[in-house]
Structure formats: structure tokens, C-alpha cells
Structure 1
Amino acid sequence: MTKARKCLISIEATPYYHCVSRCVRRAFLCGTDNHSGKCYEHRRGWLEGKLLKLPEVFAIDIAAYAIMSNHYHTVLHINSKKAKSWSDIEVVERWHQLFNGNLLSQRFNKGDQLTKVERNRLQIYINEWRSRLQSISWFMRILNEAIAREANFEDECTGRFWEGRFKSQALLDEAALTACMVYVDLNPIRALLAKTPETSEHTSIKKRYEQAKKTRQPNRIDQQEKRLYSFTGNPKQDQPEGIQMRLTDYIELVDYTGKIIRGDKRGSINKTSGSILTRLEIDSHQWLEMTSHFEECFSTFAGGEYRVKVACEILNYRRPPNLSTCKLLLNA
């Protein structure tokens, strides 16, 4: 039985989620439809532009993404600390970038004086909007609806463009997060759409690689691609918020993994990448399996045995799904 989204996403379990949306119609999201011969390649730009723009409004960060022909992947981070730091007026201004709000919020935004009753009523709306602006469900809803409207207008048709629900997987620990990000970034390589990660169009790894080439200190947070969630370096005390790995190490890890997955070019995990896998307690065989078949390996949760059990308690699961696979592949 399909579970409600609130039973799949919980900030108490983890702030990281792998989300996938697929088209429901025969027409492609992007690329060329072999049936009709029509090219939809320009739609990749629509989706990528909107995807990278929404974090300016939401308290949601993008860790990785890949836009394919009839679906797209993204790894999202819920930044609840950021959402809590917003003032009431900031919440209203952000919500108004998505919707018109209501009469009270419009008056408040203009600086009009509100009565105590009106202010209390507005506070209820603001609390709800603050919650929605850190919701992956609302983030995906806004993104998918915008693309569906543009695609339907172009195709001169109505009806569903996406499947009813996007698929989500909770990434419960660092090993699961890293494996999933590499899996997402290497999607075009596995699909034979690109030969190297840095030439993979409409992916986060290409964006990170292009920005890294422009600076002499690519591992500095202020020198990284600003529209993507930052790499903050190897774990240490008083570390700023971000992915606990050096950006250059991650790029090398994606590169070497991509060479192995391609199979037509000699490749192996080098010493630098190998040390990352050792820290994550993953051997090379487990790594290759996860980065090649992440969606097939895991269902709702991806993480070590202990983290999966904790997440299931938080979300009131009677029995942890896919626990044997998590124990086999993610033994941290």
C-alpha cells in the first residue's frame, strides 16, 4: 500500500533525500522522441533553470541533480536552520514570489498597521508558509507544475505530464548520501549520453567542475558554485554546514567511478578516492554496486542498519524495509 508523504520524509530522520520524477506521457521531457521525431532538448534548460532558481525562495539546497530524457534526479537538503532564521516579513516576501498570498499578507508586506486579531490570524498563515518553504513536497510541486504548464502549452494539450507522485529515498548517513550523489551525477555516463562527467550536460557535476576550473582554491566555500550545496571539507570540529568532504576529492571520486562504470576505458579507484571509501566503511565492490544501481538497491531508506532502525521508529514503521541490503552495502 502506498504510504503518505509524511511517512516518507522527516527532518528528524535525515535532512537529505533523493527524489525522482518521471513523465507519464509518451512524449519526452527532453531529447528526441523516436516515435514522433520531435526534439524536446530545449526543455532541459527549462527544468534546470527552474530547479536552480527555487532554492532562492525555499530553504531547500540542491546537492546533486541530473536531467534525463523522460525523468530527472535530484538530491535535496532540507535547511530547517535557515527557515527558522527568517523574519516574518521574509517569509511573506518569499511566499509572494510563488503565490499572491492573501489580503492580510499583502497589507503586511506594504507596511500597513494590522489589528491584534489580524496579526494573530496572519501569524497562523506565516507559520504554515514557513513550514511549506522547507517542504520537499512543496518544492517538487512548484517545480513540476511549472514545467508541466510550459510543456502542455507547447504540446497544445492538457492532462498529466508527470507521474502522480515523485519517488523519494531518505539518505540516512554520509555513506548513503555520497553514493547517491555519485549515482545521480553519473546518470548520463551510464545512459551513454556522455563520455566524461565534466561533459555531462545538465548535471550538478558539470556545474561544479566548471566553477572549480575558474578558481585556484576550489575547496573554499565562497569559491564553489553558489546555486549548489557546498562541500565543507573533511569532518572536523566547528565545521560550517555542508557536505563533509573536499570538493576536489568528490570530483575525483566521480571521475574514477565513471571510468569503471563505462567499461570501455581502464579505470580504478585511486588512493585519494580509496581513502574516502575507507572512511565511509565501503569496499570497492559495494561502491560499484550502489553507484550503478542505487534505486534498485534501496527502497525508502538508504543508510546503515542502526540509522535505518532509528528512522523507522521516528516514522512509525513496523518493520524496516530493505534492512538486509542496507546491512550488506552500508555497514557503517
Structure 2
Amino acid sequence: MTISRSQIIALDSTPYYHCVSRCVRRAFLCGIDSVTGQSFDHRKQWILDRLGMLTEVFAIDICAYALMSNHYHLVLRVDRERVEAMSDHEVLGRWNVLFSGNPLIRMFLAGQKLSTVQEQMLAALIRDIRPRLYDISWFMRSLNEWIARQANKEDGCKGRFWEGRFRTQALLDEYGLLTCMAYVDLNAIRAGIADSPEHSDFSSIQARIGAWGKALGKEAAAQCPPLLGFNDSGTDDALLPFTTLDYMELVDWTARNVRADKASAMDEDAPPILVRMGIDSERFTRQMRGEGGSFPTFIGAYHCLRDAARERGLHYVRGSGTARRLFCGEMVS
């Protein structure tokens, strides 16, 4: 049964979401058209630049991304509390970066005196705009509509560029977040267009490796867009709930297993983070190859999927069996 996006995106359950947008028919987002030979790789920088700008407007952080030839993946974290703590001036100032056509907002930001009626109208605007700054649909709309207009202008055509609205999955816990981030970062390797994480062009793992090399004094391209950092100190809940070392080791180990197409991954060689979280290493490797079962709407440990079903009045959500097999170390009551 199809679940509406309003039931999937529930910030009281999780701030983390995986979003995918795919081009319609043979339209190319990036890459080289095998028929015409035309390259669209320059559009990748359009997307990264636009994402960098959107993270300055919205209170939505990017955890991972991968840009492919006809689709892209984003793993996002929504920070509703940050928006709720913003002043009215900051809310309208951010919104005005993208949508600058409202004269009342421009008057307010310029410090002009407003009448009582105008102040009431402005207050209503602020009530409408504030939640949009942590709304994934507004974030994705601001990205996809802009990209579609740019691509259609370049192609000299009109009409639909994306096959539909973006698809989304809720990442209910650390199991879901870790699995989805690694899956996104390994897209190029799984597709056979890269042989290692550092060669996975226009992916968040390449950007993180480049930023790490730059910190060590090595030459690296500027990281764009900014990525949510890892909680290396163990004391900052505003960061990703893993350490840089744990995540890098996991992606490197998994990339070698995926690339080598081994029959199985050895538990004794498994990265420490898989061992600590009780994730079956062989099933995790199969999952990264796209062979381990599906998580259509929600990703997480079995008890989280069960709770998500109950909260939405459902008897069952797809992916429960995959969760029970993959996250074998978590306690199932």
C-alpha cells in the first residue's frame, strides 16, 4: 500500500531522510549521452552550487549525496529547532534570498515603518514561511525546479524534466542512517563507474576524503556543498552519531568487498562499527551491492519499523524482514 509523504516525513520520529530524484525518459541530468555524444557533466556543478546555497537558506543539513547520470541521491537532516529559535528578521532574510518578490518583506528588511495592518499581514507571512525553512518538500522544490529550468533552457525545450516528485525514505535510527549513507556513498562503485571511494566523482565520500586531505596539507578541491560533520568528540548531538574514522573504515571496507564481488564478507575482518552495532557483515555487503532486500519507505531496526507501522495505523511496513536479518544484533521484543 502506498504511504503518503506526510506520513513518511514525521520530524517527531526522525530528522533524517533519504531523497531521490530521477529524470524522465532519456533526459540526462549529468553524464554523456551515448547516442549524441553530448556531455552534461557540467550540470553536476550546477547541483552542488545550488545545494550549497540552499543549505544557507534552509535549516536542512546534507549528510550524504551522489550525483549519477540520470538521478541523484541526498541524505538530509532536518533541524526544526534551529528555525524555531530564529528571529523574525532572520526567517524573512533567509526566505528573501530565494523568493524576493514580496514588497512587504523588503520593506521590513529595509527597516521601514509598517502600519498596523501591514504588521498583521507580515505576522501571517512569518507564520507561513517559518515552517517552510525546515520543510523537505520546499527544499527539494527549490532545487529541482531550478535545475529543470536551467536544463530545459540549455536543451532548448519545454516540458517535464523530472519523472515525478522526489521519492523519500525515513531513516528511523542509527542503523537506518548508517546503512543509507553508505549505500549512497557507494553508488558509483556499485554502478561500476568508480573503483574506489576517492574516485567516486561528485559524491559526498569523495568530498569528505578531499576535505580530510586538505586538512593534512594536501591539495584538494573545495568541498561543496558543506556536509554535516561526524561526532568525533562524542559530546555533540548536533552532528552525525558516528566518528569520522568509523565511517571511513566502513566505506573503505565495504567498497573493497563490493568491487571485488566476493561471495561473502568475513566477520573477523568486519569494521569495528559493524561489530559494535551487531550488523551482520555478510548481509551488509549484500545490501550495499543491492542484493540484500528492500526498504521501500522506512529504514531502521525491526522494532523501529514496527513502531512506525503502529503510529500510522498499519499492520506491517515493507522491509521488516530485511531489517530483522540485517540488523541481527538489535534486540527484538
Q: What CA distance in whole angstroms lies between the structure 2 residues aligned with 1:216 and 1:318?
A: 52
**Residue 248 (structure 2) pairs with residue 251 (structure 1):** yes
**Residue 155 (structure 2) pairs with residue 155 (structure 1):** yes
Structure 2 partner of 1:215: 215
| 8 Å contact from structure 1 (residues 58, 133) kept in 2 | yes
Structure 2 partner of 1:302: 299
Structure 2 partner of 1:61: 61
| 8 Å contact from structure 2 (residues 59, 79) kept in 1 | yes
After TM superposition, the structure 1 stretch with the greater mean CA deviation from structure 2, 181-190 or 262-271, is 262-271
Shift of 1:129: 1.2
Shift of 1:4: 3.0
| 8 Å contact from structure 1 (residues 148, 161) kept in 2 | yes
**Residue 290 (structure 2) pairs with residue 293 (structure 1):** yes
Assess, with a 3 A threshold, how the Cα gap between structure 1 residues 297 and 267 changes in structure 2: closer, same or farther.
Answer: closer
Shift of 1:151: 0.5
Q: For 1:261-318, what per-residue CA distance to the aligned partner results, in whole angstroms no more than 9, with x for missing partners? A: 0117999679795320122220111211222228952010011122123323444445
**SS at the partner of 1:214?**
helix
| 8 Å contact from structure 1 (residues 62, 227) kept in 2 | yes
Structure 1 partner of 2:4: 4
**SS at the partner of 1:176?**
helix
| 8 Å contact from structure 2 (residues 63, 76) kept in 1 | yes
Shift of 1:25: 3.3
Q: What CA distance in whole angstroms lies between the structure 1 residues aligned with 2:248 and 2:275?
A: 17
Amino acid at match of 2:207: K
Shift of 1:102: 2.2
**Residue 197 (structure 2) pairs with residue 200 (structure 1):** no
Q: For 1:205-226, what per-residue CA distance to the aligned partner results, in whole angstroms no more than 9, with x for missing partners? A: 0110011112259xxxxxx988
Amino acid at match of 2:123: Q
Assess, with a 3 A threshold, how the Cα gap between structure 1 residues 327 and 296 changes in structure 2: closer, same or farther.
Answer: closer
Q: For 1:187-215, what per-residue CA distance to the aligned partner results, in whole angstroms no more than 9, with x for missing partners? A: 11111111110111100001100111122
| 8 Å contact from structure 2 (residues 246, 272) kept in 1 | no
Q: What is the aligned length? A: 324
Structure 2 partner of 1:81: 81
**SS at the partner of 1:40?**
coil
Q: TM-score, normalised by structure 2?
A: 0.89
Structure 2 partner of 1:221: none
Q: What CA distance in whole angstroms lies between the structure 1 residues aligned with 2:3 and 2:139?
A: 19
| 8 Å contact from structure 1 (residues 259, 268) kept in 2 | no
Amino acid at match of 1:279: R
Q: What CA distance in whole angstroms lies between the structure 2 residues aligned with 1:292 and 1:157?
A: 37
**SS at the partner of 1:61?**
strand
Shift of 1:233: 2.4
**SS at the partner of 2:107?**
helix
Structure 2 partner of 1:133: 133
Amino acid at match of 2:134: Q
Amino acid at match of 1:305: Y
Q: Which runs of 5+ in 2 are unaligned?
A: 218-222
Amino acid at match of 2:196: T
Structure 1 partner of 2:92: 92
After TM superposition, the structure 1 stretch with the greater mean CA deviation from structure 2, 300-309 or 15-24, is 300-309
**SS at the partner of 2:290?**
helix
Percentage identity across aligned positions?
A: 44
Q: What CA distance in whole angstroms lies between the structure 2 residues aligned with 1:325 and 1:266?
A: 19
Q: For 1:119-169, what per-residue CA distance to the aligned partner results, in whole angstroms no more than 9, with x for missing partners? A: 232122112211111111111111011110111001100001001111111
Q: TM-score, normalised by structure 1?
A: 0.90
Shift of 1:12: 1.1
Structure 2 partner of 1:172: 172
**Residue 139 (structure 2) pairs with residue 142 (structure 1):** no
Shift of 1:18: 0.7
Amino acid at match of 1:249: D
Assess, with a 3 A threshold, how the Cα gap between structure 1 residues 295 and 80 changes in structure 2: closer, same or farther.
Answer: farther
Structure 2 partner of 1:13: 13
**SS at the partner of 1:69?**
coil
Structure 1 partner of 2:275: 278
> What RMSD, in angstroms, separates the aligned Cα atoms of the two structures?
2.5
Q: What CA distance in whole angstroms lies between the structure 2 residues aligned with 1:329 and 1:111?
A: 57
| 8 Å contact from structure 1 (residues 16, 172) kept in 2 | yes
**SS at the partner of 2:77?**
strand
Shift of 1:322: 2.7
Q: Which runs of 5+ in 1 are unaligned?
A: 218-223
